[in-house]
Amino acid sequence: MYDVVIIGSGASGGAVAYTLCKAGYKVCMLEKGRLIKRDEFSKDELSYARRDLVTPNLFDEYHTIEEKVEGKWVATPTYESGWSFWNGNIVGGSSNLMSGMVHRMHPDDFRLKSKYGEIKGANVVDWPITYEEMEPYYDLTEELVGISGKCIPHKFEAPRSRKNFTQAPTNENAVVKLLDKSCKSLGITPLVTPRAILSKDKGHRRACYYSNFCGSYGCSSGGKSSSREALIHPALATGNLTLLTNAHVKYLHSGKEKVKYAVIVNTLTGKEKKIRAKLFVVAAQAHESARLLLNSANKYHPQGLANSSGELGKNLLFSGGGSGQGELHKENLKEIKFEELMTTGLFVNRTVLDWYFIDHWWDGTFKGGSVEFMFEHQNIISRARKNNYEEGKLVWGKGLGDRLEKRFKEQKSIRFEIFNDWLPNDNCFVSLDKMHKDKYGMPVGKLRLEGHPQDVKVGKYIAKKCENILEEMGAKNIYSSVTSGASQNLVAGGCRFGNDPTTSVLNKYCQAHDVKNLYVADASFMPTGGSVAYTWTIYANAFRVADNIITQLKEI
């Protein structure tokens, strides 16, 4: 029997494993996918961006998505729509594939209801912990996992116990000169983006080598601060971690008060076995963690494991916002040389937080969001396929060739992505679809997806201001898109934590109210998501949870 079984090897699972293994506990980590070693990662767009090299085949494992059509909820399996909610089923999870733009949440994100009050149609609550309780773990993540950046004072930057980052920012493209000047002329303060990517060597990991293909791809230098590189590698070195790959957990078997064992199936052989431990940590990604607990229902827990409140799977979160971009053309570029703009691999590394909270008498008072500036994703096939129609007809032959040559050689697109709160609501949750089962015979997750109108309002407000920045930069063909659609790669909620067992699934330490040897460490604990990507908070909270697990293990 192990001290702890961890289900999932992403950011949260890695942080818990690292902490427990360093403390001398015997840990078993179960990962549905395989281990891809550093030197196996490539920049193959077909494999990583267009096929299922690192995610399950949708005909084997899928979800059903409920969307409103003519006033009725209609469920469609993702093997029909092609809409995949799998994000890197390999050791290290989707942390292998991230772009690494990370931020701390602001102290007011932890008290959203107290700050802004009730929002009609939204289930907004304050967190049961404060920023001050999380801050030491943000700091730990920054140093241990490896986050590069530069601290620039700003009224909406979260307070820091460490004056500056221990890693300088990653190298930047000259476009930042133009972007910074344009922002400042509009009275906007551009900040340096903290990035979960090393700018200098750290232990067994080498610094970023600026491949030009980062997001969606694994890193072959170890520069990206994935769970696999930063946490699982050193955890294995302790001799206390048993890593079982191709191990899919079907359900957890429990009595009235404790989980007894996990039932796993080998994804290659189909053979099942039981894994026992004193404590169990679910870290499978928010919607799948909720699905696992729902599939673990028994006579003691008829609504699903840890679901006496009826809140399991409810208040699922994604990321509100949208995106937009414009083109910087050779013939009218200002401030910098075109050759500097076209230098490949270097980052834009600019964030705007000026609209994180809106409190202007002419605009009103509401929670805003953050903006990340970057170049258009560098995938060649994706870029080549864009805008190849003229007057409704597909351009081909020499006309297509000329258009592609101009697109790749004479202009570069700069993009912005907006992150604002996805307000939790009654029509965004995961449940079981008992009419559809995966290849292991278990009901798949049914995701009902509906955003709150406030999310779109905020996104459009910020998008217009970002378009102004691109106009000031001299960009052409500027556009933006803000919708209420759910983002497939940023999922949280479903196992909300709180002090009241009747309205939450987990306590403040992410321990199940109903089952004392069960923790949920991934982003599903979040009652609200803030206006930044979740990754830094996932890492930090998992380190916090791990400390509490050690306290409990000492009492067993």
What is the Cα–Cα distance from 498 to 500, expressed in whole angstroms? 6
What is the Cα–Cα distance from 218 to 228, expressed in whole angstroms? 10
User: How far is CA 86 from each of CA 168, 169, 413, 492, rounded to the nearest angstrom?
Assistant: 33, 30, 28, 14
User: What is the mean pLDDT of each successive set of 10 residues along the chain, which is 556 residues long?
Assistant: 97 98 98 95 90 91 93 93 92 95 97 92 97 98 98 95 96 98 98 98 97 94 97 98 98 97 97 98 97 98 98 96 95 95 96 94 88 94 85 87 89 96 97 96 96 95 98 97 88 98 98 98 97 97 98 93
Burial class (CB in 10 A: 0-12, 13-18, 19+), 220: middle
What is the Cα–Cα distance from 269 to 253, expressed in whole angstroms? 22
User: How far is CA 91 from each of CA 151, 244, 283, 404, rounded to the nearest angstrom?
Assistant: 32, 10, 12, 37
Nearest alpha carbon to residue 63 among 83, 49, 48, 33 = 83
| Structural element, H or E, at residue 193 | none
Residues of the chain with CATH 3.50.50.60: 1-149+225-319+425-450+490-556
Helix, strand or coil, per DSSP, at residue 59: coil
pLDDT of residue 22: 98
Instruction: State residue 266 phi and psi, 5-degree precision.
Output: -75, 120
Using an 8 Å Cβ cutoff, are 268 and 252 in contact? no
On the CB side of 437, CA atoms within 13 Å amount to 7
pLDDT of residue 363: 81
Using an 8 Å Cβ cutoff, are 98 and 196 in contact? yes
Which letter, b or e, does each residue of 394-412 get, where b requires 16 or more Cβ atoms within 10 Å of its Cβ?
ebeeeeeeebbeebeeebb
Biggest CA–CA distance in the chain, Å, is: 74
Q: What angle do CA 452, 454, 460 make, to 5 degrees?
A: 120
pLDDT of residue 301: 98
Q: Please, where are the H alpha helices in 226-317?
A: 227, 233-237, 286-294
pLDDT of residue 71: 87
Residue that is written with structure tokens 């409140």 in the block = 309
Residue that is written with structure tokens 């209420």 in the block = 484
| Structural element, H or E, at residue 49 | none
User: How far is CA 171 from each of CA 69, 199, 386, 401, rounded to the nearest angstrom?
Assistant: 47, 8, 28, 33
DSSP 8-state code for residue 512: B
User: Any idea of the CA torsion for 471, 475, 479, 482, to the nearest 10 degrees?
Assistant: -70
pLDDT of residue 364: 82
Helix, strand or coil, per DSSP, at residue 341: helix
Question: Beta-carbon neighbour count of residue 468 at 10 Å?
Answer: 15
Spell out the CATH class of 1-149+225-319+425-450+490-556: alpha beta
**Residue 188, both tokens:** 């906007």
Instruction: State residue 485 phi and psi, 5-degree precision.
Output: -70, 150
**Residue 393, both tokens:** 């007809």
Burial class (CB in 10 A: 0-12, 13-18, 19+), 111: middle
Q: What is the bridge-based pairing of β-strands 241-244 and 350-352?
A: unpaired
Using an 8 Å Cβ cutoff, are 346 and 173 in contact? yes
pLDDT of residue 361: 75
Q: Please, where are the H alpha helices in 74-163?
A: 78-81, 112-116, 131-141
| Three-state secondary structure of 130-146 | CHHHHHHHHHHHHHHHH
pLDDT of residue 373: 98
Q: Find the radius of gyration of the CA atoms of the chain.
A: 23
Nearest alpha carbon to residue 42 among 53, 29, 58 = 53
Helix, strand or coil, per DSSP, at residue 81: helix
Distance of CA 322 to the CA centre of its chain: 15
